[in-house]
Amino acid sequence: MRDEALLERLTQLWGVSGYEKLVREAIAEEVKPYADKVWTDPIGNLIAFKKGRGEKKIMYAAHMDQIGFMVKNIEENGLLRICNMGWNWAGSAYNERVLFRNGTVGVVGCYGPIEEAENKIEKLFVDIGAKDRDDAKRMVKIGDCCGYFGPYLHLAGGQICSKSLDDRLGCYQLIASLRENPGDLPNDIYYCFVVQEELGCRGSKVAAQQVLPDIGIAVDITPAHDYPNDLTGANKVGDGIAIKICDPSVVADEDVTDAMEQLCVENHIPYQREVIDRGGTDASSMNLTGDGVRTGGICVVTRYPHSQSSVVAPEDIEAGIDLMNAFSARSFDF
């Protein structure tokens, strides 16, 4: 990989939706030496601009936030009642460790058998080892958030396993592509590190209104279908970068997807066509900006998404960077 140490660092940063400050600060330091202009907007998006020859404005969006939980009540016995910050499966959270921004660690438990929770997060609690409510309040307040604790590891087959690959790997791809942007491309490129995607693609709505791009590309993950789970489709880890065709939130522009496929063939970049019938990305927000924006998606196929142990193939991540670079350097006739 180009800079695996950077990817590992990004995945391990704490940044639950709405509280991306630590991630934004780290990314800002990485992009400042390479961008012509860098700014943070009031909602917390970080935008790095690289000037080209101005044929098109291309916006890449990767979200900085990770899913997590917010404390909504502290019980008399010191257990924490929680609600979702993004989409969590109760089963994957059960018995797992979570981390608060102040360093407090907790374990997720369930009121009753997890099999009877029916994926209701209100059936879960977080145990931080407090003796009672007063003891818990010394460590955590109502409204504090926690995210999954999941170290960066390599599986025996070479795949990467970590928390927050959704979407710190997209942030990594944007940084890597910006580093390799020579500054004389036909297009002006906006590398947008956006907030609160997991809460409804909120940050990209604001960023796209500022940029008003000609083409908007969401750089994100997409669920795998190559292992036993409740989803069906063709997505396979290790089969190349996924070019978004359609999801419930957006139908990718035909000209954009055709251009991506052609570039993959010309540059020998392994790729697969991606269709999912659940979920969505920041492409949906960019698509509906202004008078409308041609949109597409560059996605890394991921097993066990929205968990502390997501799994991806490093070669798929790198193929995504190669596609971004080729796409940024292309002249478009639409």
pLDDT surpasses 90 at 188: yes
Q: Structure tokens of 269? A: 């970049």
Q: Which residues are catalytic?
A: 197
pLDDT surpasses 90 at 230: no
pTM: 0.96
Average pLDDT over residues 118-141: 96
State how far the Cα of 97 lies from the Cα of 95, in Å rounded to an integer: 7
CATH topology assigned to domain 68-148:
Elongation Factor Tu (Ef-tu); domain 3 (2.40.30)
pLDDT for residue 86:
94
State how far the Cα of 23 lies from the Cα of 209, in Å rounded to an integer: 22
State how far the Cα of 171 lies from the Cα of 194, in Å rounded to an integer: 9
As annotated, the residues of the chain forming the CATH 2.40.30.40 domain(s) are: 68-148
Could you tell me which CATH class the domain 4-66+163-328 is placed in? alpha beta
CB atoms within 10 A of CB 254: 12
DSSP-assigned letter for residue 81 = E
Tens-digit pLDDT profile for residues 30-50: 999 999 999 999 999 999 999
Average pLDDT over residues 16-22: 97
CB atoms within 10 A of CB 173: 29
Tens-digit pLDDT profile for residues 278-302: 999 999 999 999 999 999 999 999 9
Closest residue by Cα to residue 316 from 279, 272, 252, 278: 272
**Residue carrying the six token digits 């979920």:** 279
Report residue 329's pLDDT band, with 50, 70 and 90 as the boundaries: very high
Three-state secondary structure call for residue 202: helix
Tens-digit pLDDT profile for residues 246-280: 999 999 999 999 999 999 999 999 999 999 999 99
Average pLDDT over residues 198-214: 96
CA atoms within 13 A on the CB side of 19: 18
As annotated, the residues of the chain forming the CATH 3.40.630.10 domain(s) are: 4-66+163-328
Three-state secondary structure call for residue 207: helix
The contacts of residue 204 (CB under 8 Å, 6+ apart) are: 45, 61, 63, 192, 194, 197, 218, 282, 285, 286
Mean of the per-residue pLDDT values of the chain: 96
Tens-digit pLDDT profile for residues 220-229: 999 999 999 8
